[in-house]
Structure 1
């Protein structure tokens, strides 16, 4: 379960779990050491420019093409794929949900995925889906890979162990993990039932955002992303292998563990990141910077500066601006915002938005602090304040996020969410001072 520093996105890594398993000087020798098979996993077209070309060479006990049965369709009724326009009667609006309850019956990570929104088109490789996962048991003799997109996993309650073809990652609340498109994995629970969020990214892969005028430092630094070292298991026993492909699910049987990669090298790999290592920047005199300064990862679209998906966090931080309304301001936005809370309170919504909960503010729908948060911020003494014990995040996309039937009909949907703004009162009284009583 050792992890190595990931020195930079796009760089090559190499790791072996047996000495000499990695061939030197060529990728696919006629007879690899230990009787292994050489196999390439590509995350980009072969002809992609060198800077964006992604591939890894895997040296494995059996090639992944070996399975003992044809693929057959299976169902996962709560996992939806964009475009999903399943009918329901929930009208357009600002929406918020309480946490999904933890499952009482046997539920694995894959069977416990519940789609909240979809956006864009998986077959067109654009957009995303936002899910919540709940699980109460390990995946046993069950493996999975997603051909529709990469999966950014955000634990909220309970830690998980992600066993992938390329190594093992233990991921706890306050950390994130990414499993690339097409990579086989299974998930085990570290300490009882779990809950968390998933961004299924159909488009270009997540990468670090450009820092622009910020310069060389701060935000998320490449050295803090860690990718696993080689690890393998040699289990000759039947297992299910499921795949998600163009929004449908299929299953085949194999007579061995597919996690049998003894060594690998390349730049297409899973990774994890500790959100506490994010170095925020902000205003130090007055005014309010855009939330884009909190972007950890971005999945670019074809339009410069407009993301297919951004992953944004709101971590503990000092706020020092003077003569400034400090919480997020009221706004309407071309981007659609799916928000979750990992722990603590969110400064713009201290009531009703709880850890494990969700809010959704779709494109051009107005949103901002509730009446309580507004009153507190406008009457606060302007001195340095540190937000502590908090971690909120946002999956933000250029596409409209369509609510699934499951989410629309969920008992956790807060029918009274819009009431949080009902006490915002008129302060205009015709004088420059206004009515701030």
Structure 2
């Protein structure tokens, strides 16, 4: 039986229940002596068993075979371009602000897993702190080829081309302007939808992504829970020689199995993959003067042990109105504790009108200054401050409180803009001694 077409349930962190066959979910208990259809009951836990009720995450899966049959004798495999922290390499790049033009999609045959290219790493995968930023390139679908990541959850943001993530919880399709999050330990394969694909990915080693607290904002705006979509149950009853690859403590291991591991007929719980359309984000901003901190654009946050300080934040800069009076409207010049990896899905970013095109990326590490280029400063300083709508634009940041270290791949990319810092060269002293 093949996986059914994708379908979704709405809500973030809800305790869902869904079944692909009627009566597959047990009623009143999680692990009956005999499950319907001869299925096996299995729990997938995304938090320690004794985590507080509001933080405890798990799902019960009712499947054709338990997961112990979805692994075998592992052999170590080499995926040389997918790196994990700590990855401290001795390249010749000094500290500084970095920017890369879009990287062309390679001509080689690359599945999603083989096509990952790590740009930066931060923290330590062995202590489950920090994160990594990656590019991915996909030119071939995964067929009888499956993967799960024991090191962290994956946040995938397509920039070109659509992908289908076929998971043990169901099927998720995403295209540019959408994201999906695959939790730690969830098995999946990736299919191309129409043509080659390229995008960005954050691998979060720490506490899982959640919705940020709104504080004085109140109950509404930013990302609303109802707009997150979790797949309905779908399963594959397929017996064929298959490959399972696992990422564990920064290394990769593969084994051969004789069937599809995507065999969950029904499930219930609150630990599951999900998607989100970034165009559903409801931005807020200054409606009189000044420019708020970019934290008002946070979609998801992965908290650290320090209150208000994220292991990773996922921040977007979507279409929005700018109406502030007597104000410099683009992001101001700043230095801060967070290290910011930025990408552009489509359109133009208002603080960098030149050199930062869709598919490009930049890195501004902690306590390294950055802000609008000279052209953006000149334009914003002289603009008539009428209401203006920024349209057809979508940029994002993966930011962390840990320093992001360049990989060799990032340091030696041909698309690295060696003259990036020159974008601020025109910011001459403007002091004239007058108020």
With structure 1 as the length reference, what TM-score do the two structures score?
Answer: 0.98
Does the aligned pair in 1 maintain the 2:70–2:261 contact within 8 Å? no
Equivalent positions of 1:46-125 (< 5 A) are 46-67=49-70, 69-125=72-128
Distance 1:68 1:110, change over 3 A: closer
2:198 to 182, 195, 199: 195
Equivalent positions of 1:17-36 (< 5 A) are 17-36=20-39
Equivalent positions of 1:32-431 (< 5 A) are 32-67=35-70, 69-431=72-434
Query: SS of 1:310's equivalent?
Result: strand
Q: What is the CA distance between 1:7 and its match in structure 2?
A: 2.7
Quote the Cα distance in structure 2 between the aligned partners of 1:216 and 1:105: 48
Q: What is the CA distance between 1:226 and its match in structure 2?
A: 0.4
Quote the Cα distance in structure 2 between the aligned partners of 1:427 and 1:121: 44
Query: SS of 2:181's equivalent?
Result: strand
Q: What is the CA distance between 1:3 and its match in structure 2?
A: 3.1
Does the aligned pair in 1 maintain the 2:11–2:230 contact within 8 Å? no
TM-superposition CA deviations, 1:88-134 (whole Å, max 9, x none):
11111000001111121211111000000000011111100000001
Query: SS of 2:67's equivalent?
Result: coil
Does the aligned pair in 1 maintain the 2:233–2:266 contact within 8 Å? yes
Q: What is the CA distance between 1:4 and its match in structure 2?
A: 2.9
Does the aligned pair in 1 maintain the 2:118–2:409 contact within 8 Å? yes
Quote the Cα distance in structure 2 between the aligned partners of 1:186 and 1:280: 33
Quote the Cα distance in structure 2 between the aligned partners of 1:179 and 1:19: 26
RMSD: 0.8
Query: SS of 1:426's equivalent?
Result: coil
Unaligned stretches of 5+ in structure 1? 433-437
Quote the Cα distance in structure 1 between the aligned partners of 2:220 and 2:167: 31
Q: What is the CA distance between 1:255 and its match in structure 2?
A: 0.3
With structure 2 as the length reference, what TM-score do the two structures score?
Answer: 0.98
TM-superposition CA deviations, 1:336-367 (whole Å, max 9, x none):
00000000000000100011111000000000
Unaligned stretches of 5+ in structure 2? none
Quote the Cα distance in structure 2 between the aligned partners of 1:94 and 1:3: 42
Query: SS of 1:51's equivalent?
Result: helix
Q: What is the CA distance between 1:53 and its match in structure 2?
A: 0.5
Does the aligned pair in 2 maintain the 1:278–1:296 contact within 8 Å? yes
Hey, which bits of structure 1, 4+ residues long, moved more than 4 A? none
Query: SS of 1:65's equivalent?
Result: helix
Q: What is the CA distance between 1:199 and its match in structure 2?
A: 0.5
Does the aligned pair in 2 maintain the 1:103–1:193 contact within 8 Å? no
Query: SS of 1:332's equivalent?
Result: coil
96-105 vs 59-68, which deviates more?
Answer: 59-68
Partner of 1:435: none
